[in-house]
Every structure is written in C-alpha cells, then in structure tokens.
C-alpha cells in the first residue's frame, strides 16, 4: 500500500489525507522522499549536457518536491498538535535533514554548473524573475559554504547539523515547560475577573481534568490574568512561571543550549569570512548591516523609554493609592495599566469583547480581502489536521486561488504564539499549484469564542501573511509568497492590521454576539483612540528583545548569555517593571531555529514601511482605494521574492520611507 504522505492527492483541493495518515507513516515517508531528492540532485549534478537554466536551476527547484510535501505536514503537526512520538522523530530528523541540505550545497559538480551559469548570465536571455532565482540560488550556495574546502567544509557541515538538533530541542523544552505548569484557582480567586476570562479559565481547568478553573501558560490566558486579577500574589506566581519558561533547571532548561547555539553561530560566520554572525545574517537583508539595525532601534528606543518611564510613575501612584508598599513590579504593570486605561477611555474588555467574536473578526478580515483584492471565501467540509481547524476555498472571479485553513484555539499540544505557514505553496514551474495556507493562533476557546483587541489584531496580522501567500503569482517556488527578506516579510502582515481600526469595518462586523447590535459609535471611537495607550511598555519590551538579539550576534559569542542579556538591559536603562518580551531561555524566534536570529528587529524595520504604506490609502482618501490596492498587490503581495525588496517597495510607493510614520503610528512622535 502506498504511503498516504506520498500518494497522489485525490481531493480536488489536494489537501493531505489527514484521515489516513498515521504517526508511523512519517519515518518511511521521509526516507523515501530523501532518497528521491538525492537521486534527482545526482542526476542534475551528473548531467553531461552543458548547464542551462532549465536543466540546472529549474531542475533543482523541483528536486525536493516530495520531501517538501512530507515536511510541510510533519512540521505543521509538530507545531499545532505535537505528541511524544512526533517530538522524538523531530529530534532524530533534524540532523538528517541538515545533512541533506549540506550534501546539496557541498556538491562541487552542482555548484560548478551554477557558477558556469552565473558567469555567462548576461548571455542567457533570462527574464527578471529567472535572473533573480539564479542570483539567489548562487548566493544560497555561497552562504552555505559551497566555496569552502577540506576541514573547513566538514566543520561547517557539522555545525549546521548540531544547530538543527539544538534548535529542535530548544523549542521542545519550551513547549514542555508551557504545558507542564498550571495554576488551579479557587472560586474566590475569580473575583474581579471579567466573565469571558472566568469562562476561559473554567475551560482550561476542564481540559486539564482539574475539576475547577485554572490558568495555564497559554498567552491568551496568562496575559489577561495579569491584566485583570486583583490578587497580587497570584499575579506574581503566574508572572514568575511565565518568565521562567526554559530556565527552570533540569532537562528542559534552555540556557546552556542558547550558549552553545551562539558559539556555533559565531564559528559558522567566521568560517565563511564574516566578522560576526550578525554581519553574515544581515548581508542579504534590507538593513544590510548591524549598524543600520542598531541605528533604527535606538532612534525609537529613546522616546519609547521616556514614555514608559512617565507611565511607570503614574502606575506606581495608582498602586500606592491602593496601599501597596514597595516598587512597581512586572506583575503589577498590566493590572494597573488596565485600571488607568479604563479610567482614561471609559471602557473595559467586558464592554468590548462581546463585539469581537472570533467568527465576526474572521468575517471582517475576509471582508477587507474582498474589498481590496476581490477575494471570496467559501467554507468547505474537509478533514484537517485537528478537529478545531476549519477551511475555506478562496476564489476570485470564479477562479480557485487557494485553500485557507484557520487553527485558532490554544491546547497543550500546540506551541504558543501565532504564525502563518503552508501545506503547499504557489508555483507555475512544472505544473501550476495554488497554495494551502495555514494561520495558527492560540485564542481561548469559548462558546462563542470572544477575542480581546490584541487577539483581533493578531488574527489580522497572521491573515496579512496569508494574503502574501494566497496572492503570490510567480513561476518559481523559491521566490513565492513569503520567501522574501526577513525584514520585508512582516510588511504585509503589519500593514493588514491597520484595517482593524477602520470605523466602517468595525461598524459592519463588530456586532454584539448575543443581540447583533453594532458596536456603539462612542465605544468604537474610544477603542480606536486607546490604540496607542501603553505604547511605551509595548515598544520597550519589544525593543529590549531586539537589541539583546543583536548584541548576542554582533561580536564574540557570550559564554554566559544571561549575563550578556543583563549587561545590555542595564546599558539601555531598562525600566525595572518591564521585562523583555522574549527573554533568552524562551526566545524561540531566535533559538528554535535561525529564521529570526539577528533578525528580531525585522518587525520594526517592516513597521517603518507598513506605517508609510497605509498612509498611501489615507492620502487617497479611502482605506479601500482600488488603485492603491492594485499597486499593493502587483508590487508587494503577488511579487514574492522575485525582486529586491527596495525595488518592490519603491515601485509601490515611489520612494523608501523614513521613521516618522512609525513614530506617529505609535504615538511616540511627541516623546521623541
């Protein structure tokens, strides 16, 4: 019987056959797919015909087709519905997949064919996308060590294998700490909590089999608990557990793993001739250098810290008025900030959340996509990776564009956070394929599920990534969708967040879950007016993480990352009641893989563009202006990585932006 992971997909949407896939299917599927990929690469490298774009570059684009399909299913499952068996297999596979990647980039005959094409690139009559793919392929080989020889090449291969294993272990340790902690609550501990949070705590306790309400380390539970619980002792317990993830000692402690990862990255960069890992990592990004990144971050740090310091004084005064002795602590900030916000803007989450049901916010996101890009979303009844997930067919003018899958609820088997990935990408090479794109969130489950304003923003953010995939219109899979520079990839997602604040959209979709009444205009306006409330806190906690990440990678690797973290924060003058958004032992963006290593700054780099990009719609006088939307799709969303990000953005906007729109958007221009 054919392995279901490798079989032709009979479903008209070509979804993985989740109802037929067993955990035991993955290892043989990976073995078969790796063998097939190796055989295809050997044919390309050993081809006696002179190299041309089709028999070398395009053939290489398709060589790992089966491996990509199997990997997409496996790694989406390990992120959304992991099991001990899948986690063990992931640890086993990490060095094997790394070895396969090294085999390709270390293949001298293959690299010689690529170099031959590069040397006569001007005579090949390639179109712009083909030239870009050739350039990126060659760059990928060089940055992976294709030009190294002997012991240096062998050492680099070993480093990449070890880093793959360490990154997998880091992520699994974090997941273990998150699902291993729970705070049972007595009925009296629920006093002061909004009804939706009480319901979510009861659901969490029932899911854990506790027979009563509980708080877990799911962000959708622990953060609102810190925001609303009047019990300072319980807030402290919850915060300390949240902050200690990955640093609890024992088998799941990530601190020594982080130190080894940083040392290996520094060695990797040195082998390739770079002065630091940050210099290596940033070379192909828009920022280009660590100095450019640091300049941007510090340009925003000073006004953000000034705002945070002023806010801390106001919060400490509220705390003192409550008769609480001692300084403002990290477990106090969210609680007193919420009290202050409620007084300043005369609303609380209990008034807002009934208008922000999950279904309503999904419909709102779909509405924006329809009005901007003509997309339509139809629910489809298909078997997916988990019963909580649901799917829609995306069409435009009757043409199938994609399948969109949403997996929105927190559960112990899912890693924390929110992200966008795919079960299949877009391509025209070989045969046309339309994507199957996945948005993953960790909202609290409810009947119905109600979102906070931050939850709704997260949903819009990830859907912006999904649109980057859905609207992709390129030939080659290596430059499709979100295959762009790391500091460009957040532009579509952060830009899409702006439409959540369009009054017209809220009037249409933010309707009371029980009565169907539209959100009152005064409440809507107060909600929008409060969008920059506590931006000092939000900006400082983010920037601290980004600056620590940069410091880790721009220079010699620290023997003790926690000591380096403390040094950086002290030098910055970090407010004592604010902690990093992601402290080192839980910094999965940076250590569970190297996607955001020396790159966590990219959210802010992209924000410079997204603030400026939405101003294009404001300048047109219409947040749904069809002309601006058409330019956005043509030059950003459909283009993928087919050109340099600067070229794409300039084609859309006519120029590159400055930092001013970002500061205005965060309300920090007055503090600058």
Please check whether residues 326 and 390 belong to one and the same domain. Answer: no
Alpha carbons 491 and 609: distance in angstroms, whole number? 7
Say what the pLDDT of residue 206 is.
93
Stated pTM of the model: 0.92
Question: How far is the first Cα of the chain from the last one, in angstroms, to the nearest whole number?
Answer: 66
Phi-psi region of 74 (alpha: psi -120 to 50; beta: other; left: phi over 0): alpha
Residue 621 falls inside a structural domain:
no
Please check whether residues 222 and 260 belong to one and the same domain. Answer: no
Sorted by sequence, the CB contacts under 8 Å of residue 439 that are 6+ apart come out as 404, 405, 406, 407, 408, 418, 419, 420, 459, 462, 463, 465, 466
Residues of the chain with pLDDT under 50: 672
Q: Is-contact 113 56, C-beta < 8 A? A: yes
Alpha carbons 233 and 64: distance in angstroms, whole number? 54
Q: Any idea how long the chain is? A: 672
Please check whether residues 328 and 367 belong to one and the same domain. Answer: no
Query: 3-class SS at 389?
Result: coil
DSSP code, position 612: H
Q: Is-contact 213 182, C-beta < 8 A? A: no
Please check whether residues 377 and 338 belong to one and the same domain. Answer: no
Say what the pLDDT of residue 671 is.
54
Say what the pLDDT of residue 447 is.
81
DSSP code, position 358: H
Distance of CA 472 to the CA centre of its chain: 18
What are the respective helix, strand and coil percentages of the chain, to the nearest 5?
60, 5, 30
CATH of the domain at 424: 3.40.390.10
What sign does the dihedral 364-365-370-372 (CA atoms) show?
positive
Q: Is-contact 319 332, C-beta < 8 A? A: yes
Quickly count: other Cβ atoms within 10 Å of residue 612's Cβ: 23
Please check whether residues 395 and 443 belong to one and the same domain. Answer: yes
Say what the pLDDT of residue 670 is.
66
Please check whether residues 127 and 224 belong to one and the same domain. Answer: no
Residue 281 falls inside a structural domain:
yes
Say what the pLDDT of residue 23 is.
96
Supply the DSSP string of 527-552, one letter for each residue: HHHGGGTTHHHHHHHHHHHHHHHHHH
Which H/E stretch holds residue 399? strand 399-409
Please check whether residues 360 and 409 belong to one and the same domain. Answer: yes
Q: Over the stretch 18-69, which tens digit does the pLDDT of each residue have?
A: 999 999 999 999 999 999 999 999 999 999 999 999 999 999 999 999 999 9
Please check whether residues 272 and 208 belong to one and the same domain. Answer: no
Please check whether residues 541 and 565 belong to one and the same domain. Answer: yes
Say what the pLDDT of residue 135 is.
98
Residue 246 falls inside a structural domain:
no
CATH of the domain at 53: 1.20.1050.40
Find the domain containing 543 and state its range: 251-352+535-599
CATH of the domain at 565: 1.10.1370.10
Among the listed residues 462, 497, 541, 607, the single catalytic one is: 462
Q: Total domain count for the chain?
A: 4
Say what the pLDDT of residue 529 is.
87
Alpha carbons 360 and 364: distance in angstroms, whole number? 6
462 among known catalytic residues: yes
Alpha carbons 368 and 379: distance in angstroms, whole number? 17
Q: Is-contact 228 240, C-beta < 8 A? A: no
Buried b (16+ CB within 10 A) or exposed e, 367-394: bbbebbbebebeebebebbbebbbbbbb
Q: Which runs of consecutive H residues, i.e. helices, occur in 452-560?
A: 453-470, 490-497, 503-509, 521-529, 535-553
Q: Output phi, psi for 667, to 5 deg.
A: 70, 25
């Amino acid at each position: 019987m054919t392995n279901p992971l490798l079989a032709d997909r009979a479903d008209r949407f070509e979804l993985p056959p989740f109802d037929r896939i067993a955990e035991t299917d993955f290892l043989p599927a990976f073995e078969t797919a790796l063998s097939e990929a190796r055989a295809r690469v050997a044919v390309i490298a050993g081809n006696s015909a002179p190299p041309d774009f089709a028999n070398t570059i395009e053939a290489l684009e398709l060589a790992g087709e089966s491996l990509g399909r199997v990997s997409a299913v496996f790694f989406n499952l390990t992120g959304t519905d992991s099991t001990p068996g899948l986690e063990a297999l992931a640890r086993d596979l990490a060095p094997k997949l790394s070895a396969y990647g090294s085999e390709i980039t270390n293949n001298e005959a293959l690299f010689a064919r690529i170099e031959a094409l590069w040397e006569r690139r001007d005579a090949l009559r390639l179109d712009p996308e083909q030239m870009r793919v050739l350039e990126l392929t060659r760059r990928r080989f060089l940055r992976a060590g294709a030009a190294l020889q002997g012991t240096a090449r062998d050492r680099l291969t070993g480093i990449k294998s070890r880093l793959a294993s360490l990154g997998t272990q880091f992520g699994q340790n974090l997941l273990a700490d998150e699902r291993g902690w729970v705070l049972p609550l007595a009925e009296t501990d629920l006093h002061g909590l909004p009804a939706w949070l009480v319901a979510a705590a009861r659901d969490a306790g029932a899911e854990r089999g506790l027979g009563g309400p509980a708080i877990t380390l799911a962000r959708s539970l622990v953060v609102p608990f810190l925001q609303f619980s009047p019990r300072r002792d319980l807030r402290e317990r919850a915060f300390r557990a949240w902050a200690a993830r990955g640093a609890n000692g024992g088998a799941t402690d990530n601190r020594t793993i982080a130190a080894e990862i940083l040392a290996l990255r520094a060695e990797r960069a040195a082998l390739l001739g770079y002065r630091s890992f940050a210099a290596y990592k940033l070379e192909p990004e828009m920022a280009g250098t660590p100095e450019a990144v640091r300049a941007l971050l510090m340009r925003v740090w000073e006004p953000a810290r000034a705002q945070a310091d002023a806010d801390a004084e106001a919060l400490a005064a509220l705390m003192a008025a409550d008769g609480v002795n001692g300084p403002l602590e990290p477990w106090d900030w969210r609680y007193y900030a919420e009290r202050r916000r409620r007084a300043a803007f005369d609303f609380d989450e209990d008034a807002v959340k009934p208008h922000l049901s999950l279904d309503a916010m999904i419909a709102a996101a779909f509405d924006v996509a329809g009005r901007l890009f003509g997309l339509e979303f139809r629910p489809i009844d298909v078997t997916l990776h988990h019963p909580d997930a649901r799917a829609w067919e995306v069409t435009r003018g009757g043409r199938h564009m994609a399948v969109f899958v949403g997996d929105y609820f927190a559960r112990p088997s899912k890693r924390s956070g929110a992200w966008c990935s795919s079960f299949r990408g877009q391509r025209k090479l070989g045969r046309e394929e339309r994507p199957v794109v996945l948005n993953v969130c960790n909202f609290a489950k409810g009947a119905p599920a109600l979102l906070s304003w931050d939850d709704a923003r997260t949903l819009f953010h990830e859907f912006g990534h999904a649109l980057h995939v859905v609207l992709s219109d390129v030939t080659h899979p290596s430059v499709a969708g979100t295959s762009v520079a790391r500091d460009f990839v957040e532009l579509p997602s952060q830009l899409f967040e702006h439409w959540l604040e369009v009054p017209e959209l809220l009037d249409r979709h933010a309707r009371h879950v029980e009565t169907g009444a539209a959100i009152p205009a005064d409440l809507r306006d107060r909600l929008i007016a409060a969008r920059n409330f506590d931006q000092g806190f939000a900006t400082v906690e983010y920037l601290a993480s980004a600056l620590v990440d940069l410091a880790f990678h721009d220079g010699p690797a620290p023997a003790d990352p926690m000591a380096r973290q403390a040094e950086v924060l002290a030098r910055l003058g970090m407010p004592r009641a604010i902690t990093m958004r992601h402290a080192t032992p839980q910094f999965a963006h940076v250590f569970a893989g190297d996607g955001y290593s020396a790159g966590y700054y990219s959210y802010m780099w992209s924000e410079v563009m997204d603030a400026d990009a939405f101003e294009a719609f404001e300048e047109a006088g219409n947040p749904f202006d069809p002309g601006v939307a058409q330019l956005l799709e043509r030059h950003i969303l459909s283009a993928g990585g087919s050109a340099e990000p600067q070229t794409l953005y300039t084609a859309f906007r006519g120029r590159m932006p400055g930092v001013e729109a970002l500061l205005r958007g965060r309300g920090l221009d007055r503090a600058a």
